[in-house]
A and B are shown apart, each in its own frame.
Chain A
Amino acid sequence: MMSGSPIQNIPVSSRDAPASIYVAPSLAAARDALSEYGPVGAPLAGGTWIMRSPIRHEPLRTHYVAIGRIAELTAVQIESDAIEIGAAVTHAALAAALDDLPEFAGLAAAAGGSANPAIRAMATIGGNLATSEFFAADCVPALLCLDAAVEISGRNDHERIGLADFLAVRSTLAPGRLVTRIILPRARRKTAHVRLPLRRAGDYPVAIVSLSVSVDAANRVQAARIAVGSVEPSARRWPRLEAALIGHPLDAAAAARRAAELADEFVGRDSVDAPAWYRVSVLPGLVRRAVIAALGS
């Protein structure tokens, strides 16, 4: 006996087509359009989430403002003290831009290893952060480890908030506001990003561990940021594990043991591809792999 519903290849005629997609030529034009559309409008960057709305049985908005061709949103600015990433930078472009920056190896791995090549060339970093319903976003935990700030713009103002704060409010952003930049301070550190997809590549990861550590000359951990993605509905840091590593030599087996002791603080999410308990149970192994990767970076 079959259970569940068959996947429907939805014909064009049954879609809730929006009234418009406005291809904004500039950020100012995009902000104006979003402000005028208000709650019936939304930004559209790569489209890899929005275009799947019919599959999720979600209606499209009435108006979209396409932001993928706005020059100031598609640039990565690399300065001596920080890098700034436009919200419409694709995963592929971000991975390429970070290729020669070892301190961002974790983020480069996140951007360059997510989904598949064609999706990486479409999906944007801003979309990855702003889509609260996408639980398996790779770049979110990677950015949490890098002390990222998010710039949000409206028609006449902009504000900058920490990424963790942004994640808490992203589903309730006021109409007309959009993510415009991600700002990352530069620092000497080792970073890594490891994920467990069900196949070697191409799938959503069951769980993600991102890591950023600074060590002293004796390889003792001075500072650590560890974030977990895809296990719960939103990625978050793992402060108890971070604290457990401070002052100790950076060691993969020891970090995995501490992770096993502390993993019960996560409440995994059940889904068709993996049960909740499994997502949590793989965390120590991913922590071990992340430390090995960081030591090699």
Chain B
Amino acid sequence: MGFNLTVNGDRLTSAADPATPLVDILREEMHLTGAKPVCREGFCGACLVLLDGEPTPSCLLPAALADGREIRTVEGLAPQGTLNCIQAALEDSDAVQCGMCFPGMVVSLTHLLTTRPDATRDDILMALTGNICRCTGYERIVEATLLALATA
């Protein structure tokens, strides 16, 4: 039995076991290594992807429930190699540190900018409660997001 996934616009199939976490399929089968399996508990946010447009921890999503869904990973957030609004703001603000948490940060903040163009600083902090940065570089990330909101 296989699963049909649409990943970054590409229609792909996987023969993984049904409980295989999506993050393992993305990384091991599709070689999309942006999503990181760090805590595997839904705490850290490093494995977030957009599932039908919603930030979702891919470590907790079994293959069977990803079947037929629209998945967008961090690799799919810069079409034609052009950084999206939050990616550009993060780079301009020198907010990128070790890179472990960043794919998840970008996924959460891409969703926030898409759905909440009026977001406040508190909204940004709430949106990032599921993204842990062990470099503790939150303030630059928040400032970059405010910049992206102001210039979007």
User: B-contacting residues of A (Cβ < 8 Å)?
Assistant: 7, 9-12, 15, 17-18, 20-21, 23, 44, 47-48, 51-52, 54-55, 60, 64, 66, 68, 115-119, 121-122, 201-203
Question: Which chain A positions have C-beta within 8 A of B60?
Answer: 47-48, 51-52, 119, 122
Contact B62 A201 (CB under 8 A): no
Please encode chain B, from 9 to 22, with 1 for each CB lying within 8 Å of some chain A CB and 0 for all others.
00000001111110
Identify the closest chain A residue to B28 (Cβ). A12
The 10 closest A-B pairs by CB, nearest first: A116-B130, A17-B17, A21-B64, A21-B18, A201-B129, A51-B60, A202-B129, A116-B129, A12-B24, A118-B55
Q: Is the CB of A117 within 8 A of B127?
A: yes
Known A-B contacts A47-B62, A60-B19, A116-B45; A55 and B40 likewise in contact (beta carbons under 8 Å): yes
Binary interface encoding of chain B residues 50-75 relative to chain A, with 1 for a CB under 8 A from any of its CBs, else 0: 00001111011110110100000000
Asked whether, in the complex, the Cβ of B55 is within 8 Å of the Cβ of A51, the reply is: no
Given A21-B62, A117-B127, the answer on whether A51 and B56 have CB atoms closer than 8 Å is no
Interchain CB contact (< 8 A) of A66 among B20, B64, B126? B64
Of A11, A20, A66, A116, chain B has the most CB atoms within 10 Å of the CB of A116
A118 near B65 (CB under 8 angstroms)?
A: no
Minimal Cβ-Cβ distance residue in A for B20: A12
Question: What are the residues of chain A within 8 A of B61 when measuring CB–CB?
Answer: 47, 51, 122
Who on chain B is nearest to A197 by CB? B129
Q: Is the CB of B18 within 8 A of A51?
A: no
Q: Are A15 and B19 in contact (CB under 8 A)?
A: yes
Given A60-B19, A116-B130, A201-B129, check contact A48 B56 (CB 8 Å). Answer: no
Complex contact B129–A117 (CB within 8 A): yes
B28 touches A119 (CB 8 A): no
Given contacts A51-B62, A116-B129, 13 further A-B contacts (CB under 8 A): A12-B28, A17-B18, A51-B59, A51-B61, A66-B65, A116-B130, A117-B108, A117-B127, A118-B42, A118-B45, A118-B48, A201-B129, A203-B43
Docked Cα-Cα span, A202 to B42, in Å, equals 10
Which of A20, A60, A68, A202 has the most chain B CB atoms closer than 10 A to its own CB?
Answer: A202
List A contacts of B16 (CB < 8 A). 12
* Complex contacts, A9 vs chain B, CB 8 Å: 37-38, 40
Report 6 cross-chain contacts, Cβ distance below 8 Å, ordered by A residue: A12-B28, A52-B60, A115-B42, A118-B108, A121-B56, A122-B42
Q: Is the CB of A68 within 8 A of B65?
A: yes
